[in-house]
Structure 1
Amino acid sequence: MTKIVLTIGGSDPFAGGGIQTDLKTFGDYHTFGISVLTSIVTLVDNNLAIHPVTKEVFLAQLKSIEQVNFSGIKIGLIANPEFIPLIKEFLQKHPDIPIILDPVLVFKEGNSAIEKEILAGIRGELAPLTTLITPNLTEAETLSKRKINSLQEMKEVAILLQKEYKTAVLIKGGGRLAGERAIDLLALPETKIVEYQAQKIKAITINGAGCSLSAAITAGLTKDKLEKAVSDAKGYVYKSIQAGVMVTAEFGSVYFEESIIKSNNLPA
C-alpha cells in the first residue's frame, strides 16, 4: 500500500523549495504527498516577503486531514508563532510515526520578534516531539547561539543540540566550511556522530536542496532506519543538484530525473 506523507510549510513560487519541492520529493520516493500551507513566499525586486495564511485557515487545513493515516510528517517554514501550539497538538495525535523538523529561519539574523517566538516554540514545544531536526549551519548557529567555523565546532554543536532536544540532529554543512568536500553530521544519542561526505559540486542549481533533503529523509523513514534514510537522501539530493533546472538566468533548482531513478535504483 502506498504510504501517505504530510508536509507543513510555505509555498515557493519558483518550486525550488517549500511544499512544491517536498511533494515532488515524496513522489520520487513513491509515497503520496499531502500538504498544509503556512504561508506564500514572494520575491519581487530582490525583496523576499512571507505572507502567512490566517490562523483560522491554517487550523482548518489541519482539521481537514484529521482522518488521514500518515506514515511520516515533515515541518518546514512555520511563518507564524501562533501556528506552533496547533502543530504541537496535531503532532501529539501521531506519536508513532517519523516527524522531521527542518527549522527554516528566513527572517534577518534571528533578530525579529516573530523569529524569536518561533525559535522558542521550536526549542520548547516541537523539537521534543520529533524524530530528527535538520538545521543548516546558519540555523544551527542560531539554535545553539554558537558560531561554527570548523568541523570540530560543527560536531560540538550537533552534540549540544542533540542533548538539548533529546532527538537526532542532522547539521547540513553544505559548502560553507573550507575544503573540497561537503560534510553533514548526524548526532545520535550517547554522543554518536555519523559523518556524511561528498565532493562539493560547483553548480548553481541548488535552490531547494535543503527542503528536498529533509523531505527525502521523511519519505525514506517510512521504510528504512534513520542512518540509511539519511544516506539515501544525501545521494538523492546530490543527483538532484547535478540534474537541476535553470529557472531564471541567475539561479536554478534541484530536480531528480526519472532516468536517474531507473539507472540507480534510487530511491524506490
Structure 2
Amino acid sequence: MHIVTTIAGSDSGGGAGIQADLKTFQELKVFGTSVITALTAQNTLGVSDVLPIEVSFVEKQLKALIEDFSISAVKTGMLFSSEIIQSIARILADVNIPLIVDPVMIAKGGESLLQQEAIVALCSYLLPLATIVTPNIPEAETLTGRKIKTFADIQDAAHTLLQMGVQCVIIKGGHLTDNDYAIDYVFFEDGQSFSMQSSRIATKNTHGTGCTFSAALTAFIGRGFSIKEAIVEAKKYIQLAITYDLSIGNGHGPTNHFAYQKYKESCEVIIHET
C-alpha cells in the first residue's frame, strides 16, 4: 500500500485543503494521512475565519506519521505562517521523501491564507527541499517578485524558482486568458521543459483546483510514476474534475473529485516539448 501525506489547512466546505486532498488520494488508490496546519470557517462564498494550529502540535502530527509509516510522497498546501513553514522544513530535511509544494496564498474569494513574512520562509526553507512546486501565475509572481505577462516571463520566473533549489517547476497558466486553451508550463532543473494544453472550461466552479491538482500529483508520485508521467496524469485528473463539476453551493463551487475514474479514457491533454 502506498502511503502519502498532506500538510495543509482544513476546508469546512470540503472543496479544498485537507478534505480535497484526502478525497483525491482515495480516488487514486493511495492511503492518505494528514497534518492540519489551520482550521478555516468557509464555504463556496468565501473564508470567514482562520484558526492556526499551534506550531508544536503541527510538529507532533508530522513526527507521529514519520515515526510509524513508510511515506512515499508528501505535499504541502496552506501553511499560514513562517513558524509553521520553518518547523515543517526542519523535519522534512531529515527524511528522503519526494515533496510537492503547492504555495497556497489566496482563497478563491480573495482572502489571504499565507502571512506576508511567510513568503520569505517558503522560498528560503521549503522550496530548496521541493521535488516539485506548482504555483499559478499570481503565486509565481509573488514568489519571484516579477510580473508575468508573456511566455518569456514564465520562463524567467521558472528559472528563478529552480535557482532556489526546486527540481521541477509547474507554472499553471489558467490565469492567462488570451486564448481558448489552458496551458501549464513545466520546467526541470536539467533544462528540459514541456507544456500541457487542454480546453478552457467556462465555469465558476473551480474551488480547490490547486489543492486537487497537487494532491493528484502527490498520489501518482507516491505510486512510483515518473515525474513527467505523474504531471500529465494529474493534469487529466484536474481537467476532468473541472469539466464535470458538481454545481453545489452558491459561490465558487468545488471540482468533482470523482470524475477521473469514470471519464479518464476520454480526457485529452496535448503535450508540446519545448
The 2-side partners of 1:194 and 1:145 are apart by 23
Question: 1:208 aligns to what?
Answer: 208
Deviation at 1:13? 1.2
The 1-side partners of 2:190 and 2:9 are apart by 34
Contact 2:21 2:212 in 1 (8 A): yes
Contact 1:10 1:19 in 2 (8 A): yes
Deviation at 1:182? 0.7
AA in 1 matched with 2:49: A
The 2-side partners of 1:127 and 1:175 are apart by 23
Deviation at 1:262? 4.7
The 1-side partners of 2:46 and 2:188 are apart by 39
The 1-side partners of 2:228 and 2:209 are apart by 19
Relative contact order higher in (CA < 8 Å, ≥ 6 apart): 2
Distance 1:90 1:243, change over 3 A: same
Question: 2:22 aligns to what?
Answer: 23
Deviation at 1:211? 0.5
Deviation at 1:199? 1.1
- Residues 51-90 of structure 1 mapped to structure 2, 5 A cutoff: 51-65=51-65, 66-90=67-91
Aligned residues: 259
Deviation at 1:208? 0.8
Question: 2:35 aligns to what?
Answer: 36
AA in 2 matched with 1:136: N
AA in 2 matched with 1:106: I
- Residues 50-129 of structure 1 mapped to structure 2, 5 A cutoff: 50-65=50-65, 66-95=67-96, 97-106=97-106, 115-129=115-129
Deviation at 1:62? 2.1
Contact 1:123 1:165 in 2 (8 A): no
Q: Give the SS at the match of 1:221.
A: helix
RMSD between superposed Cα atoms in Å: 2.2
Contact 1:14 1:247 in 2 (8 A): no
Per-residue CA deviation, residues 191-243 of structure 1 (Å, 9 max, x unaligned), is: 32211111100112211111111111111112211111000000010101122
Unaligned runs of 5+ in 1: none
Q: Give the SS at the match of 1:186.
A: strand
Per-residue CA deviation, residues 123-181 of structure 1 (Å, 9 max, x unaligned), is: 11111111011111101000110001122312221122212334211111114331111
TM-score when normalising by structure 2: 0.87
Distance 1:243 1:40, change over 3 A: same
Identity %: 32
Contact 1:175 1:200 in 2 (8 A): no
Deviation at 1:252? 1.4
Is 2:246 the partner of 1:245?
Answer: yes
Question: 2:193 aligns to what?
Answer: 193
4+ long deviations beyond 6 Å: none
TM-score when normalising by structure 1: 0.89
AA in 1 matched with 2:212: S
